[in-house]
């Protein structure tokens, strides 16, 4: 019955995704068969004419049609101000270039306007082999409001496939949607435009679940991927690129703060080149509640990373804490006077990671002594050009196997005088946008069992 229903649904959909076995593994967005060519609505596509009105008319026609379809951009450069995608089963087929026109006044009075604004949509896709260009260099040097390139909110069943996203003015893909697949996309910026910087240009910000990113290249000026949700798989990607430039802040989880409840995140088969960091878990300094657990970083090669090969930092956004381990300890003292950190990091695995050359710090694992990180598993890690002493750790507990040079993770669990006697009370406010919060899970039995497991093991070994 279920199979029959699925077959019917798939047959009803446009066939575009079925031709390519590389595509959909998480979601098959159903896009209607009608084509809405923006030229039919008056777009010129000469790269200088403002085509906003025509393109918006094509998008609106799709939204109000019965079955949806692809709004098509072909054979030209289509210049436009911010656009709004509404209505289910519509997609953008960009085989040429869709270029954001520079603007400084908020066109619709909202400081959060993005170039492509997609909201309340079920079944959405962008594909076609072309480029969506944010014209970022016209924004980067200035203080004007900076639009994200694509902002998808309150939506589901999204595929972004075979398309390039270039020069976003701010975050590139900000995706608050469930059932998302991003594949065969290139996200990049022009490193020659603004002194090798492209500030705040995150590649993909993940705020929905499940979410699958694969076979993509992400070469940007901030987080290559920033995970803010659970059940996420990122694989077979290249982060960073050749030459001078920032090239990204890595495979990030966070930054996480009060109430973040993240589990089951995997990054695997990723090659990094010239990024600041590789694996990068960031928890805001003084976060008082929440957890991040069951994370796997696997099969990773790190070429010429600029700062840390890998990093886990519970003092994020605290300048002093970030500067050095000594400062970190000092800032932790002051933080404790403000209230203890109850954020739990547990079961984080780093497996089969190599760096042929280490530029600065092999790894930094800075946890909180209010709740140390537990169950950190480091396996088959080889970082060339550094010594054991170059690792930086605080309150990081777990196990190591074949780590060269050995990291400063303490084996086992925190010593007997350490108390896990926390009463977790989940009374967090629901976060406004997306993401899983602890309150949406209720009191988390898994979290409690993590602590119990630690407690049991400690009793057994002592």
The residue among 30 and 232 lying less far from ligand NAG, judged by its C-beta, is 232
How many residues sit close enough to ligand NAG to count as binding (CB under 6 A)? Answer: 20
> In this structure, how many other beta carbons lie within 10 angstroms of the beta carbon of residue 268?
18
Tell me the closest approach of the beta carbon of residue 363 to ligand NAG, in angstroms.
17
Peptide bond into 405 cis (omega under 30): yes
Q: Is 38 helix (H, G, I), strand (E, B) or coil?
A: helix
Q: Shortest distance, CB of residue 226 to ligand NAG, whole angstroms?
A: 16
- Taking the least distance from each CB to ligand NAG, the nearer of 164 and 320 is 164
State how far the Cα of 430 lies from the Cα of 270, in Å rounded to an integer: 33
Would you call 325 exposed, middle or buried from its count of C-beta atoms within 10 A (0-12, 13-18, 19+)? middle
Q: Which is nearer to ligand NAG, 190 or 231 (CB)?
A: 231
Q: Which stretch binds ligand NAG (CB under 6 A): 62-70, 160-168, 335-343, 422-430?
A: 160-168
Tokens at residue 108, please?
């619709």
Among 158, 180, 253, 296, binds ligand NAG (CB under 6 A): 296
The residue within the footprint of ligand NAG, chosen from 51, 60, 72, 162 (CB under 6 A), is 162
Token pair of 209, please?
């679940």
Subset of 349-388 contacting ligand NAG (CB under 6 A)? 349, 352
Q: Which of 44, 57, 61, 164 binds ligand NAG (CB under 6 A)?
A: 164
For residues 268 and 332, which CB has a smaller minimum distance to ligand NAG in the complex? 268
Vertex 259 angle, CA 257 and 265, to 5°: 75
How far is the CA of 281 from the CAs of 14, 204, 257, 292, in angstroms?
Answer: 39, 15, 12, 9
* Strands annotated E in 278-370: 279-284, 290-303, 308-316, 344-355, 361-366
- Indicate which single residue of 121, 163, 204, 365 sits in contact with ligand NAG (rule: CB under 6 A): 163
Report the nearest approach of ligand NAG to the CB of residue 361 (Å). Answer: 22
Which residues are paired to 397 by β-bridges?
A: 410
Strands 34-37 and 344-355: unpaired
User: Which of 49, 74, 299, 359 is the binder for ligand NAG (CB under 6 A)?
Assistant: 299
Which of 224, 347, 358, 444 binds ligand NAG (CB under 6 A)? It is: 347
Task: Give, as ranges, the residues between 200 and 229 that touch ligand NAG (CB under 6 A).
Answer: 210, 217
Q: What part of residues 126-155 is at the interface with ligand NAG (CB under 6 A)?
A: 129
Cα 268–Cα 270–Cα 272 angle in degrees, nearest 5: 145
Residue 183 pairs in a beta bridge with 161, 214
In this chain, which of 238, 301, 408, 441 binds ligand NAG, going by CB under 6 A? 301
Helix, strand, coil fractions of the chain, as percent rounded to 5 = 15, 40, 40
Candidates 114-122, 221-229, 281-289, 347-355: pick the segment binding ligand NAG (CB under 6 A): 347-355
Choose, by CB under 6 A, the member of 88, 167, 174, 294 that binds ligand NAG: 294
> Using CB under 6 A, which of 65, 74, 186, 439 touches ligand NAG?
186
Stretch that binds ligand NAG, among 37-45, 109-117, 294-302, 335-343 (CB under 6 A): 294-302
Q: Phi-psi region for residue 455, left (φ > 0), alpha (ψ -120 to 50) or beta?
A: alpha
Q: Which residues bind ligand NAG (CB under 6 A)?
A: 129, 162-164, 186, 210, 217, 231-233, 264, 269, 294-296, 299, 301, 347, 349, 352
């Amino acid at each position: 019955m279920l199979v029959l229903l699925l077959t019917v649904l798939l047959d009803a959909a446009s066939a575009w995704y079925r031709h390519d076995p590389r595509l959909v593994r998480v979601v098959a967005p159903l896009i209607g068969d009608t084509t809405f060519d923006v030229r039919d609505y008056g777009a010129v596509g000469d790269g200088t004419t403002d085509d906003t009105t025509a393109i918006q008319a094509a998008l609106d026609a799709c939204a109000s049609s019965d079955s949806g379809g692809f709004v098509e951009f072909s054979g030209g450069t289509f210049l436009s101000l911010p656009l709004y995608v509404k209505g289910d089963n519509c997609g953008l087929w960009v085989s040429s270039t869709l270029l954001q026109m520079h603007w400084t006044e908020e066109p619709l009075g909202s400081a959060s306007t993005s170039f492509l604004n997609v909201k309340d949509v079920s079944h959405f896709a962008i594909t076609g082999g072309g480029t969506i260009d944010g014209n970022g260099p016209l924004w980067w040097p200035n203080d004007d409001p900076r639009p994200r390139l694509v902002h998808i909110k309150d939506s589901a069943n999204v595929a972004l496939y075979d398309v390039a996203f270039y020069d976003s003015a701010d975050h590139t893909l900000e995706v608050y949607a469930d059932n998302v697949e991003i594949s065969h996309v290139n996200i990049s910026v022009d490193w020659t435009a603004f002194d090798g910087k492209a500030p705040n240009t995150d590649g993909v910000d993940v705020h929905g679940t499940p979410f699958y990113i694969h076979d993509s290249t992400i070469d940007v000026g901030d987080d290559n991927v920033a995970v803010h949700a659970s059940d996420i798989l990122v694989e077979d990607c290249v982060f960073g690129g050749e030459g001078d430039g920032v090239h990204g802040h890595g495979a990030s989880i966070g930054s996480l703060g009060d109430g973040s409840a993240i589990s089951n995140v995997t990054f695997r088969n990723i090659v990094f080149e010239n990024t600041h960091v590789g694996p990068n878990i960031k928890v805001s300094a003084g976060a008082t509640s929440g957890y991040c657990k069951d994370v796997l970083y696997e099969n990773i090669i790190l070429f010429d990373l600029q700062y840390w090969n890998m990093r886990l930092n519970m003092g994020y956004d605290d300048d002093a804490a970030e500067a050095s381990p000594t400062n970190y300890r000092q800032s932790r003292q002051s933080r404790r006077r403000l209230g203890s950190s109850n954020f739990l990091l547990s079961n984080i695995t780093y497996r089969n990671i190599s760096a042929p050359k280490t530029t600065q710090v092999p790894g930094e694992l800075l946890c909180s002594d209010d709740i140390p990180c537990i169950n950190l598993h480091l396996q088959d890690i080889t970082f060339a050009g550094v010594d054991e002493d170059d690792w930086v750790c605080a309150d990081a507990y777990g196990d190591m196997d074949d780590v060269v040079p050995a990291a400063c993770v303490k084996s086992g669990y925190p010593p007997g005088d350490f108390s896990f006697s926390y009463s977790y009370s989940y009374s967090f406010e629901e976060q406004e946008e997306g993401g899983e919060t602890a309150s949406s899970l209720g009191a988390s039995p898994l979290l409690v069992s993590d602590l119990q497991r630690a407690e049991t093991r400690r009793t057994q070994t002592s």
